[in-house]
A = this chain, B = another copy of it.
Amino acid sequence: MPESVKVIVLGTGQMGSAIARLLLQKSGISLVGVFGRRAHRAGMDAGDAIGLKRSLYMPVSVDLDRLLDETQPDVAIQATCSAISDAVTEINTLVQHNVNVISIAEEMAYAKESSKPLAEQMHWQAVNQGVSVLGTGVNPGFMMDYLAIVLTGVCAEVQQISITRSNDLSPYGPTVLKSQGIGLTKEAFQAGLTDGTITGHVGFKQSIHMIANTVGWDIDEIQEQRKPIVSTLIRETEFVKVSPGQVAGCDHSAKAFVNGKVVITLNHPQQIHPHLENVQTGDSIEIIGKPTVRLSGNPEVPGGQATASLAVNSIPRVLTAKPGLHCMADMAPPAAMLADVRRFLPEQLIEVRHGQDY
């Protein structure tokens, strides 16, 4: 059996840490490095940084070039940011070092819509270096786009796709809660929308264009709406307290049009402790077509666990994909990886990789 697949993680926040911990549980994978952006984390034990109860005898690196030279990874998982403009420098560095990249940056889920020039540059650089780059995550990347795309496979015609994801934000930290305006008055929520401090969900544009482009629709217009979810009672988490009349979440929705007709509707109400007001969380997909298909489940697929799993389960996919920039819809599905990762790699790939000079 050849040696393991070497992986590094970029990011030591909530998601980067969860991904690193999951990698440590997987057979055939070696976590060979952890990169953090924050200079004060340099040299900190990676075990501490990712919330393990034990040392990994590996310092967090803040020098990506040096980490890559020292560890020569096969794959890097990026969990440092949301925007493609913010992700691109790290991705370029990784690709230059012949490292395959899995990014959970929301705007990387459908990179060519987020920034065509950056996506094209990433694509050709990856092609030249013989590696692949994939954007993934629970949303965008799976529950409000990819899964619906998969389901349209049984349809001869489709008139309209509607997807609803209602979820509980109680486990999330202050950054997410602020971006949804939680704990504000209705007036402050409106002001936050106006000045851009309240964003709601990031990813509708990516989800809509991933669906539309995969089935062959040319979207003319997208209309988005963000409404405050006002609480009628006290709701409280570790990071925020919401009084009656204050905002407990953001009901963010989008409609996409072809020739003046709505073809995609995305509804994504997110709030803390929805069950306190008898709100049932869940995911549902409705495809009106021939045939009409409806699937739903309660509660919602939990976002953090799902994103960490998707990132790790994508490892054999990026190792076997055609070099270049990919989205979920042009790859084989990233199934759960319940055996040694090398089982999912063709033998010649393992030989080629280990025939290389490292």
Contact = CB atoms under 8 A, between A and B. Distances in A.
A333 B217 contact: no
A214 to B, nearest CB: 5
A119 interface: no
Contacts of A335: 149-150, 152-153, 214-215, 329
Nearest to A327: B332
A281 to B, nearest CB: 13
Q: Which of A25, A149, A150 gathers most chain B CB within 10 Å?
A: A150
Nearest to A330: B332
Given A291-B305, A301-B154, A301-B291, A329 B329 contact: no
For this chain, the copies found in one complex come to 2
Interface in A299-358: 301-302, 305-306, 308-310, 312-313, 329-340, 343-344
A51 interface: no
A338 B295 contact: no
Contacts of A302: 291
Interface string A135-172: 00010001000110111111111100000000000000
B333 A305 contact: no
A266 to B, nearest CB: 17
Contacts of A331: 332
B296 A295 contact: yes
A305 B290 contact: yes
Contact of A313 (B153, B308, B309): B153
